[in-house]
Amino acid sequence: MRILLENLSKHFGKVRAVDSLNLEIKEGEFLVLLGPSGCGKTTTLLLIAGLYKPTSGNIYFGEKIVNNLSPKDRGIGMVFQSYALYPHMNVYENIAFPLTLMKKSKSEIDKMVREIVKFVQLDEELLERRPGQLSGGQQQRVALARALVKGPNILLLDEPLSNLDAKLRLIMRTEIKHLQKQLGITTILVTHDQVEAMTMGDRIALMQHGKIQQVGTPDELYNQPINLFTAGFIGSPPMNIYNSKIGKDDEGYYVLVEESFKLRFPEKIFRELKEENIFLGIRPEHVSISLQPSNNLISGIVYVTEPLGREVLLNIQVGKVLLKSIAPQNIKLSSGDKVWINFDVNYCHFFDKDGNRIKI
């Protein structure tokens, strides 16, 4: 089902948790609401679920305004961060609970429960257990089964992976994405983990201070961040971002980075850079290093190396600037070594002094 949020606001006293939000979630889409804690992403989800009433604005399901519809009538399934299983019921009763409320017959309930249990790959032996006797991953599957059993039109997931250990998180990440694609159900996932958002979502809505900063595919957010916040939030290790100035000397225009070193770009780029003060951003994988000196490379000193297994994260000091660069794992460097740095000019991002992207 298509969901449309129109100027949606939710205020708690003076706090604007969600501030005139506009967002469309397409039929069958997997949308991720991403943002730091306190950015209003969970509030937005609870508004969609009907657990909060909007202060102003509208929520459409399909063509219908559902502002005043109670949660039970919205046709939604929801998985909570704590899973919120009912501790006094066993697993079977937990999953059957939404169906018993719909007054289905016993045999019908039994059939539907067993079907969904198979679908989420939950061991049938666990059905008699209490939630307290299950592992985190199993509880997660029960919560998913309970959310899906009544065949909702919309699936809402509130940080479903944050309570799992790292290994299980990877497994469930794949699994939830697979389930979503199989069912084709419109899904909204809330998370503060940008890796989770990048890997799972068809599109990501990045939020800050109750407002959406950027909506787009993971690729768009990563490669064309609309402002400094997106640029800094998406990507791990994060983008290098520097205060820079544009200047001109005998050789032509240059960008002076943090008063430390000059970068030269093709002439046409400077036609778009109208202001003197800008921010320059470049991702660590686009900063390459060389052990041989060269005229057009910048020299720096290795500050610290952080091996990541597959590759090494190098922190390199150039003047006042600390640069992050990703280098192949076989490079032999240690603190204090001298290196030469090359910026891939095709992957540099420019932002004006208010932090908005300058399109080149």
Partner 1 sequence: MENYGFKGPIPIIILILICLPIIILYGWLILSSFAVRMEGLKPYGWTLNNWKFLLEKPTFFWQAGEENPNIWVYTFNTLLYSLGITIFTIFICTTAGYAISRLSFRGRRPLLALTIILHSFPSITLLVGIFVVLLFLGLYDRLLGVILVRVALQLPFGIWIMKGFFDSISWDVEMASLVDGCSRLKTWYKIMLPLVSPGILALSVFTFLSGWGDFLFPYIFIPSKTSQTLSVYLRSLTADVRFVDYGLVTAVGLYYMIPIILLYIFAQKYLLNIYTGGTKG
Binding site for partner 1 (CB under 8 A): 46, 49-51, 70-72, 76-78, 80-88, 97-98, 101-102, 131-132, 146-147, 150
Nearer to partner 1, 28 or 71 (CB): 71
Confirm if 109 and 92 have CB atoms less than 8 A apart: no
Residue closer to partner 1, measured from CB, 67 or 305: 67
Q: Dihedrals φ, ψ of 115, to 5°?
A: -60, -50
Between residues 76 and 298, which has the closer beta carbon with respect to partner 1? 76
Closest CB 288 distance from partner 1, rounded Å: 47
Residue 328's DSSP bridge partners are: 311
> Shortest distance, CB of residue 70 to partner 1, whole angstroms?
7
Q: How far lies 210's CA from each of 8, 162, 357, in Å?
A: 10, 21, 21
Q: How far is the C-alpha of 311 from the C-alpha of 19, rounded, in Å?
A: 41
Question: Which of 132, 307 has the CB closer to partner 1?
Answer: 132
Category of 311 on φ-ψ map: left (φ > 0), alpha (ψ -120 to 50) or beta: beta
CA distance 133 to 154: 29
293 DSSP 8-state letter: -
| Inter-residue long-range contacts of 326-334, CB under 8 Å, 24+ positions, other chains counted | 326/237, 326/284, 326/285, 326/287, 327/288, 327/289, 331/289, 333/302, 333/305, 334/302, 334/305
DSSP 8-class letter at 227: B
- Residue 24 Cβ vs partner 1, minimum distance, rounded to whole Å: 23
Q: Kindly tell me which of 115 and 276 has the beta carbon lying closer to partner 1.
A: 115
CA 281 to chain centre: 20
Nearer to partner 1, 101 or 291 (CB): 101
State CA 66 to chain mean position distance. Answer: 27
| Nearest Cα residue to 281 out of 336, 338, 226 | 226
Cβ distance to partner 1 smaller for residue 12 or 347 = 12
Residue 78 CB, nearest approach to partner 1 (Å) = 5
The least CB distance from residue 80 to partner 1, in Å, is: 4
Would residue 309 be called left, alpha or beta, if left means φ above 0 and alpha means ψ between -120 and 50 degrees? left
- Nearest CA-CA partner of 137 in 161, 109, 104, 112: 161
CB of residue 101 to partner 1, shortest distance in Å: 4
Residue 11 CA to residue 27 CA, distance in Å, equals: 28
Nearer to partner 1, 72 or 178 (CB): 72
Residue with tokens 């809330």: 190
Cβ distance to partner 1 smaller for residue 95 or 231? 95
Determine the Cα angle at 234 with ends 51 and 57, to 5°.
30
Instruction: Using alpha carbons, select from 1, 190, 208, 163 the residue that is nearest to residue 78.
Output: 190
Q: Is 277 helix (H, G, I), strand (E, B) or coil?
A: strand
Residue placing its CB nearer to partner 1 in the complex, 83 or 92: 83
